[in-house]
């Protein structure tokens, strides 16, 4: 089940994105911020704050173990900052970071795995 934004926003608003790269891989941070804003705008989110951190595989596995109780590799984790939502189920390499980023953003927007999410991922991760 997917949640729609509950508020309308002004067209001149902007999503603020804080970004850090601890992955050891080269990531085009400006492109990551732009993709983030595009995905959120396509889903009706035009203002707010989002933190984005690229991490190495070992750190990602540790985060999944510590926060979700699953000691296994993954390509993306999304954590809502306000703590009101369940923690939904990330190593970016060059342009390979685009699909996991879109995936994580869609989870934050309330998408669950399934055909609707897969369709949006294909549309937005290009």
Which CATH number characterizes residue 79's domain? 3.40.390.30
How much is the average pLDDT of 101-111?
A: 85
Tell me how far apart the terminal alpha carbons of the chain are, to the nearest angstrom.
24
Task: Please say whether the beta carbons of 101 and 32 come within 8 A.
Answer: yes
Which residue has tokens 């173990």? Answer: 65
Q: Name the residue range of residue 21's domain.
A: 15-124
User: Which pair of structure tokens corresponds to residue 112?
Assistant: 């669950």
pLDDT in tens, 36-72: 899 889 888 888 888 888 999 999 999 888 878 889 9
Sign of CA pseudo-dihedral 87, 88, 89, 91: negative
Judge whether 30 lies within some domain. Answer: yes
pLDDT in tens, 8-35: 334 456 888 889 999 998 989 999 999 9
**Whole-angstrom distance, CA of residue 103 vs CA of residue 117:** 8
Judge whether 3 lies within some domain. Answer: no
Distance of CA 8 to the CA centre of its chain: 21
Judge whether 2 lies within some domain. Answer: no
What is the band of 84 on the pLDDT scale with cuts at 50, 70, 90?
A: very low
């Amino acid at each position: 089940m997917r949640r729609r934004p509950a508020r309308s926003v002004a067209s001149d608003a902007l999503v603020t994105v804080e970004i850090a790269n601890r992955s050891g891989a080269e990531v085009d941070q400006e492109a990551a911020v732009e993709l983030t804003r595009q995905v959120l705008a396509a889903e009706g989110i035009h203002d707010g704050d989002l933190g984005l951190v690229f991490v190495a595989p070992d750190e990602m596995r540790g985060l999944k173990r510590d926060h979700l109780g699953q000691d296994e590799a993954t390509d993306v984790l999304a954590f809502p900052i306000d703590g009101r939502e369940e923690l939904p189920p990330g190593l970016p390499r060059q342009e390979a970071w685009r699909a996991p980023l879109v995936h994580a953003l869609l989870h934050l927007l309330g998408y669950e795995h399934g055909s609707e999410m897969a369709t949006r991922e294909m549309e937005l991760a290009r």
